[in-house]
Amino acid sequence: MKITSERLVLWTEAGLTRRKAKKRIVQEKNRQKGPIREWIEAILWAVMIVFLINQFIFQLYQIPSSSMEDTLLIKDRVFVNKAIFGPELYPGGPKIFDAVRPSRDDIIIFQNPEYVSRGPVFDVMNRVIYMITLSLVNIDKDEQGNPRAQLYVKRALGYGGDTISFEQGDISIQPAGYEQAVTEELFRSEANLPVHHKRLFTEDDYTAFTAYAQVQAYTKENIQISSQLQQQAAPAGSGLRDYLHIYKSFYDLRAKISPHDPTVRSELARYDNGFYIPEGYILPIGDNRDNSGDGRYFGPVAESEMLGKAYFRFWPLNRIGLLH
């Protein structure tokens, strides 16, 4: 059967018409998807930019506890310089470079040494979400629904070469080259450093702490405890305790009861001698000395673990200002 030229033209035109109609339908669908796609792309770009700024330049951080009062209060929001100590290649990863060493009295941010990881994938995801939401969302919660502290903000008190000791919450510092330890107040005066910290405990509190430690020591040694001592050991009204003082008093009494016990003598010497800070390490301490879980309990932290320095408080508005 012969196909006439007229019929061929009609088939061609019909095919082109169908093709053009299909093309118009696709174009219309793309046109309808355009604004949605543009919004998604804009959001993704914004998230990426926020992440890169937070990872490599500065991070917004919300203060989760009272450990830095009155310098920083709960829910204060601060800018943290992430570039100064060398940014991480990725959250929790190696540093790209080490720019500056932390200085004594810097307000530093670092990984909580006592943080129990839920795995590298979760840790990275949590850090990323925390950064891209400008520190508003922390998906890492405990059983009670409270945020777990993966990062800490403290003050760099002890420096490499220092020996730091504690007596009823008061600090003595023997820097490298000093013949003897001096009180923190005297050291700060000689170094032209301001006093930031505050104390909560009273002499009556320390009487109770000492009695509590003695009750524990007598119990350990199977010695009868007087009712008067038990009454003195009643917890302070705030419920807070100076555990360094308690541990020291505990081992001090046990060493007197059992002077032949080498383990007891070794533990007592550890509290009597204080902390020696190795070179390349920092002893971070909270300004709220009597309500801060810090280097007194988990020890010195390597300078390489420092993630940034807190420079500026931007919230609340009535407390805006540089941090010292």
Q: Average pLDDT of the chain? A: 86
118: Cβ contacts below 8 Å, ≥ 6 apart: 140
Tokens of 242: 């100076």
| 25-50 residues labelled b (16+ CB within 10 A) or e (exposed) | eeeeeeeeeeeeeeeeeeeeeeeeee
pLDDT at 4: 59
pTM, rounded to two decimals:
0.80
What is the spatial distance between Cα 171 and Cα 229, in angstroms, rounded to a whole number? 28
Q: Are 42 and 23 in contact (CB under 8 A)?
A: no
What is the spatial distance between Cα 105 and Cα 202, in angstroms, rounded to a whole number? 26
pLDDT at 255: 94
Per-domain boundaries in the chain: 1-51, 57-162+283-322, 203-268
Lowest mean pLDDT among 142-151, 163-172, 173-182: 142-151
**Predicted confidence (pLDDT) at residue 178 exceeds the cutoff of 80:** yes
pLDDT tens column, 276-323? 999 999 999 999 999 999 999 999 999 999 999 999 999 999 999 999
pLDDT at 115: 83
Lowest mean pLDDT among 134-138, 176-180, 231-235: 134-138
Q: Which residue has the tokens 């219309």?
A: 28
What is the spatial distance between Cα 140 and Cα 160, in angstroms, rounded to a whole number? 33
Q: Are 275 and 164 in contact (CB under 8 A)?
A: yes
pLDDT at 34: 66
**Predicted confidence (pLDDT) at residue 6 exceeds the cutoff of 80:** no
Lowest mean pLDDT among 18-27, 70-79, 148-157, 262-271: 18-27
pLDDT tens column, 105-136? 999 999 888 888 787 788 778 888 887 777 77
Q: Which residue has the tokens 């407390």?
A: 319
Q: At the fourth CATH level, which superfamily is domain 57-162+283-322?
A: Umud Fragment, subunit A (2.10.109.10)
What is the spatial distance between Cα 212 and Cα 225, in angstroms, rounded to a whole number? 11
Lowest mean pLDDT among 47-51, 72-76, 313-317: 47-51
The better pLDDT of the pair 30, 132 is held by: 132
**Predicted confidence (pLDDT) at residue 1 exceeds the cutoff of 50:** no
What is the spatial distance between Cα 257 and Cα 242, in angstroms, rounded to a whole number? 23
pLDDT at 321: 94
User: CA 130: distance to chain centroid?
Assistant: 13
